[in-house]
Every structure is written in structure tokens, then in C-alpha cells.
């Protein structure tokens, strides 16, 4: 069974139709790259998956359970939205770390707040907090950020900030990671340190969707590549099919304008 | 004479300080509530509050003091002390100014901060108190320090409805002893008060300097 199944997703902003009719599904452990020119709807698609934007119509199923249906989008309770959102880890182009907290606090803030909703929180507070901190420290160490745990975001390079942002998302154990152009705001020399972390996750069979302009990354790391254009998924397939044997004219044109 | 004047002004300073601190104590939280109301999407909340802010900021504080000082008496309501009237006028006036400063601070927080909180499963309340508020405070320190200094000097307006603060006490010597210098001398009290506040704000700004953004 597909871990994520999306049917006929549509989204407009005012009169601009951004997503025209998107159907998509993915298996557990798959890493899917979404490519396409700016304005093709890639980011909006990603944001609709975890409700940062509410689609106008269509359905989203996670492990076979409907977590979104355009028919009753107005009656969705904010508690349900919140609960479903936690199935996804989201990494932003602009990192969006919390500037007033140091690296460790950025990573532990959400797990600590969520722990308060656990029934055993009052009796186990200390142990729970300790576990959260140990988990954060081990994730930070794997991301090569052990030396930086007491630093504030403004003291870090863009690449380090984005690595913290990835760890922050991972700390909540999401089922699916969503990356929205994670390297687009970085200097070219810093992109690799972020891409390497994402590659590590791919190697560990983390399920993920990456919206990216890094064609080499899409080609070499992902299991499947989706090409979007003008609000539609125009073509999808293995990296090989997409990059060496594109079928649609639009994709051929896109690839000829992009250095691979 | 100098000692008499000094003691009298010090007594006035206590009243000035009381108006100042009580106004802050009440207007700072009230201002936050008003600012949230003025940004509300619900029109029946938003527009009355916007109107209130317009009226309060659009009329002189001295006039507001007179309205709250003498208005209740004219309406036949007795028993409200002048000091309470002063406090109502000051708290309302400053809460409205503070609310606009808060609004600027809150609207200046990048959307990404809210979104980052949302995708991490934080509730709206948690996002506001754990993420946004601290950043708002840092942003509003400079305009707030202006308001605090203005408030120190605005307390002198309370003398229009017979509150015995520094300026009232200084003016009293002008009328009774026909001397002007206590009035000039009172300026030093305000100056010292504001000097301390300026140092305090400098300290807070430095304390919050550990991060940017």
C-alpha cells in the first residue's frame, strides 16, 4: 500500500490556478525529487501536503487513511490538522530557525512542548526531558553539529542553519520528510553539506519528497523524479528515464535550459 | 528654602513615580490585548477597537484627564477619586499607543516563524508565547523607550486635575512665595528620572543583543 496517495489536488490563489489537477503516490522508503521551473506549482504542492496551504479540492491519504478531503476542508478541526501535520517533517528554503534560541533549544523546543500532552508527563517529566535532549544531541552529532549546540542561529553559516533545521524536523520522528528547495538560499559551496545530510537520510530509507533545483542531486540520489509544469505533473519516472530519455517536449526544453 | 522646596518636590516625585509605574503595570498588558483586538479578523472586535485607538490618540491627554476627572461628577457619579481618574486616563492613553507599537512588532515577524512553529506541531498560543513574543519584545524596545520617557514627562499633566506631583508642587511655590526657580529645579528631577530609564533601556538592549533577527 502506498504510504502517501494524493488524488486530484487543485489549488488557486485568487484567480491564479497554481495546482490544476495533481495525482501522486509514493511508497514507504522512497525518495522523490520534484523538479520544474519557478511558478510550476512545486512548492505549493509540497505545502498542500502538510496543510501549510489548504487545497481547494482533492484528497490526501496517508497509509490509507484520509487526512484531507477538499469536500470537508472547512470542517477540519485545527487539532486534527495539527495531529496530521506531525506526520510530516518540513524543511524550508529560508531555514526559519528561531533566532532567540540556541541550536539545542531550537531542536528540543517542539518535542518538549509536545511531551506535555503525554499522559505520563507529570510523573515522568525528568526522564522525558532527558530522553528528548539525548535524542537531539545524537541527531545533532550525526549532522556534524556537536560543537555548535550552544550557538545561536545568527552565529552559524547558512549550511549549518539548514542542517539544524533538518535535525529540528527529524527530532519529531516524522514519517515523511518534505524539503522545499533546501539549498536554494545557500552559497554554492555550502549546498553540499546540506545535500550530504539529505543523502544520508535517503540511504537510511527515509521517505521523502524534495523540491529542488539541484539537478545532479535529483539525478543521482532520488529513486524517482517528478517533473511539474504549469500546475500539472507532466512526466515522472526513474532518474534515468527523466534525464536521459525525456518524452515530453516541455521536459526536453526544461532540461536543455538546465545544466546537468 | 532650598530644603523645603527639595522635600516638597521629592514628595511630588513619589506621586509621579506612582502614576508612572502603575500606568506601565496596567497599560503594557492592556496594550497587548488592544493590539490583538485591532488585528482581529472579526469586524465587531476590530472596528470598535480601531475607533477607540483613533479617539484616544486623536485627542489631547490633558483633555482626557479632564473628561475622566470631572466627567463622572457631571454625570452625578460621586466617589471616584481624582487619582483613579488620572490612572484611567493614563492607562487608556498609553495602552492605545503601546498597542500600535505591539502591532508594528507583531506584524514585522516573518511569516516563516509562524510556519516553522506550525509544522513542528505547536499550537497558536505556543507559537505566540514561545516564538513570536520574545522577538516582538526585542523589536519594540527602541520605540518603547521613547514612550516610557514621554510618560515620565506626561505625568506632569496630572496637575491639571489637582494631583500633587512634582510640577504641581513646584508651581505652588510660584504662587505662594513668588519664586520661579523651583519650577526650573523640578526639571532636574525629570532629567534624573529619564536618565535612569535611558541607562536601563541601554542595559536591556545589550542583554537582548545575543541574537539577531
The three-state DSSP-derived secondary structure of B54-99 is: HHHHHCCHHHHHHHHHHHHHHCCCCCCCHHHHHHHHHHHHHHHHHH
Percentage of chain B lying above the pLDDT 90 cut: 81
pLDDT value for B81? 87
Q: Which single residue is written with the C-alpha cell 532636574?
A: B188
* Nearest CB to B122; choose among A50, A90, A113: A113
Q: Tell whether A143 lies on the interface with B, counting CB pairs under 8 A.
A: no
Q: Are the C-beta atoms of residues A106 and A164 closer than 8 Å to each other?
A: yes
Closest approach of chain B CAs to the CA of A153, in angstroms? 8
Rounded (5°) CA angle B120-B122-B123: 150
Query: Angle formed by the axes of helices B82-107 and B43-58, to 10°?
Result: 120
| pLDDT value at B154 more than 60 | yes
pLDDT < 70 positions in chain A? 259-260
Point out which residues pair with A211 in neighbouring strands: A34, A180
CA A4 to chain centre: 13
Residue A83: in which H helix or E strand, if any? Answer: helix A78-85
Query: Cα–Cα distances in Å, from A49 out to A233, A234, B50, B104?
Result: 15, 19, 37, 32
| pLDDT value at B177 more than 90 | no
Q: Tell whether B129 lies on the interface with A, counting CB pairs under 8 A.
A: no
Query: Cα–Cα distances in Å, from B144 out to B36, B98, B107, B138, B198?
Result: 17, 8, 16, 10, 11
Q: Which single residue is written with the C-alpha cell 498542500?
A: A48
Q: Are the C-beta atoms of residues B170 and B183 closer than 8 Å to each other?
A: yes
The residue of chain A with its CA nearest to that of B131 is A98
- Contacting residues of B for A99, CB less than 8 Å apart: 135, 211-213
Report how many Cβ contacts below 8 Å link chain A to chain B.
Answer: 59
The residue of chain B with its CA nearest to that of A152 is B211
Among candidate residues A177, A183, A179, A182, the one with its CA nearest the CA of residue A205: A177
Cβ of A100 and B119 within 8 Å?
Answer: no
Q: Tell whether B132 lies on the interface with A, counting CB pairs under 8 A.
A: no
Distance in angstroms (rounded) separating the CA atoms of residues A64 and A86: 17
Q: Provide CB contacts within 8 A for A16, sequence distance 6+.
A: none
To the nearest whole number, what is the mean pLDDT of chain B?
93
pLDDT value for A188? 85
Cβ of A154 and B212 within 8 Å?
Answer: yes
| pLDDT value at B79 more than 80 | no
Closest approach of chain B CAs to the CA of A75, in angstroms? 18
Q: Are the C-beta atoms of residues A184 and A158 closer than 8 Å to each other?
A: no
Q: Tell whether B3 lies on the interface with A, counting CB pairs under 8 A.
A: no
Q: Tell whether B39 lies on the interface with A, counting CB pairs under 8 A.
A: no
Q: Is A122 exposed, middle or buried (0-12, 13-18, 19+ CB in 10 A)?
A: exposed
Cβ of B121 and A154 within 8 Å?
Answer: no
Q: Are the C-beta atoms of residues A157 and A145 closer than 8 Å to each other?
A: no
Q: What is the mean pLDDT of residues B101-124?
A: 94
Helices within A145-248 (DSSP H only):
158-170, 188-203, 215-221, 239-244
Q: Which single residue is written with the C-alpha cell 518603547?
A: B144
Query: Cα–Cα distances in Å, from B110 out to B42, B126, B136?
Result: 23, 16, 11
Q: Are the C-beta atoms of residues B64 and B92 closer than 8 Å to each other?
A: yes
pLDDT value for A260? 54
pLDDT value for A76? 83
Cβ of A90 and B122 within 8 Å?
Answer: no
ipTM of this complex prediction, to 2 decimal places? 0.92
Q: Are the C-beta atoms of residues A31 and A208 closer than 8 Å to each other?
A: yes
The grid coordinates listed for B194 are 529619564
Q: Tell whether B131 lies on the interface with A, counting CB pairs under 8 A.
A: yes
| pLDDT value at B160 more than 80 | yes
Task: For residue B132, give the DSSP letter.
Answer: I
Amino acid at each position: 500500500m502506498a504510504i502517501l496517495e494524493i488524488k486530484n489536488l487543485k489549488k488557486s490563489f485568487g484567480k491564479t490556478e497554481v495546482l490544476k489537477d495533481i495525482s501522486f503516490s509514493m511508497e514507504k522508503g522512497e525518495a522523490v525529487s520534484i523538479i520544474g521551473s519557478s511558478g510550476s506549482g512545486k512548492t505549493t504542492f509540497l505545502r498542500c501536503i502538510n496543510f501549510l496551504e489548504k487545497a481547494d479540492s482533492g484528497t490526501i491519504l496517508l497509509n490509507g487513511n484520509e487526512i484531507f478531503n477538499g469536500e470537508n476542508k472547512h470542517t477540519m478541526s485545527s487539532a486534527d490538522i495539527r495531529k496530521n501535520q506531525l506526520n510530516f517533517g518540513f524543511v524550508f528554503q529560508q531555514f526559519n530557525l528561531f533566532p532567540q534560541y540556541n541550536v539545542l533549544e531550537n531542536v528540543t523546543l517542539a518535542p518538549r512542548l509536545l511531551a506535555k500532552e503525554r499522559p505520563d508527563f507529570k510523573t515522568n517529566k525528568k526522564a522525558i526531558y532527558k530522553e528528548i535532549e539525548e535524542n537531539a544531541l545524537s541527531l545533532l552529532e550525526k549532522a556534524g553539529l556537536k560543537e555548535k549546540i550552544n550557538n545561536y542561529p545568527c552565529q552559524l553559516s547558512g549550511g549549518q542553519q539548514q542542517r539544524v533545521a533538518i535535525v529540528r524536523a527529524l527530532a519529531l520522528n516524522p514519517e515523511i520528510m518534505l524539503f522545499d528547495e533546501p539549498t536554494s538560499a545557500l552559497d554554492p559551496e555550502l549546498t553540499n553539506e546540506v545535500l550530504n545530510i539529505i543523502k544520508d537520510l535517503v540511504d537510511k530509507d527515509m521517505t521523502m519528497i524534495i523540491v529542488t533545483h539541484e539537478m545532479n542531486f535529483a539525478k543521482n540520489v532520488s529513486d524517482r523524479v517528478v517533473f511539474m509544469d504549469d500546475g500539472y505533473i507532466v512526466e515522472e519516472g526513474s532518474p534515468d528515464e527523466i534525464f536521459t530519455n525525456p518524452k515530453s517536449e516541455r521536459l526536453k526544453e526544461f532540461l536543455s535550459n538546465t545544466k546537468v | 528654602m532650598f530644603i523645603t522646596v527639595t522635600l516638597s518636590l521629592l514628595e511630588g516625585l513619589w506621586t509621579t513615580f506612582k502614576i508612572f509605574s502603575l500606568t506601565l503595570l496596567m497599560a503594557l498588558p492592556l496594550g497587548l490585548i488592544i493590539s490583538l483586538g485591532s488585528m482581529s479578523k472579526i469586524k465587531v472586535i476590530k472596528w470598535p477597537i480601531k475607533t477607540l485607538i483613533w479617539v484616544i490618540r486623536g485627542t489631547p491627554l490633558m483633555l482626557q484627564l479632564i473628561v475622566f476627572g470631572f466627567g463622572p461628577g457631571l454625570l452625578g457619579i460621586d466617589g471616584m477619586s481624582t487619582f483613579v481618574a488620572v490612572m484611567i486616563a493614563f492607562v487608556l492613553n498609553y495602552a492605545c499607543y503601546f498597542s500600535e507599537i505591539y502591532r508594528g512588532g507583531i506584524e514585522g515577524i516573518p511569516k516563516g516563524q509562524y510556519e516553522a512553529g506550525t509544522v513542528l506541531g505547536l499550537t497558536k498560543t505556543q507559537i505566540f508565547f514561545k516564538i513570536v513574543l520574545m522577538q516582538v519584545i526585542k523589536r519594540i524596545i527602541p520605540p518603547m523607550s521613547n514612550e516610557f520617557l514621554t510618560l515620565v514627562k506626561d505625568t506632569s499633566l496630572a496637575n491639571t486635575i489637582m494631583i500633587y506631583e512634582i510640577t504641581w508642587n513646584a508651581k505652588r511655590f510660584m504662587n505662594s512665595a513668588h519664586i520661579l526657580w523651583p519650577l526650573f529645579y523640578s526639571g532636574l528631577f525629570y532629567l534624573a528620572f529619564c536618565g535612569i530609564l535611558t541607562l536601563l533601556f541601554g542595559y536591556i538592549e545589550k542583554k537582548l543583543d545575543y541574537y539577531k533577527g
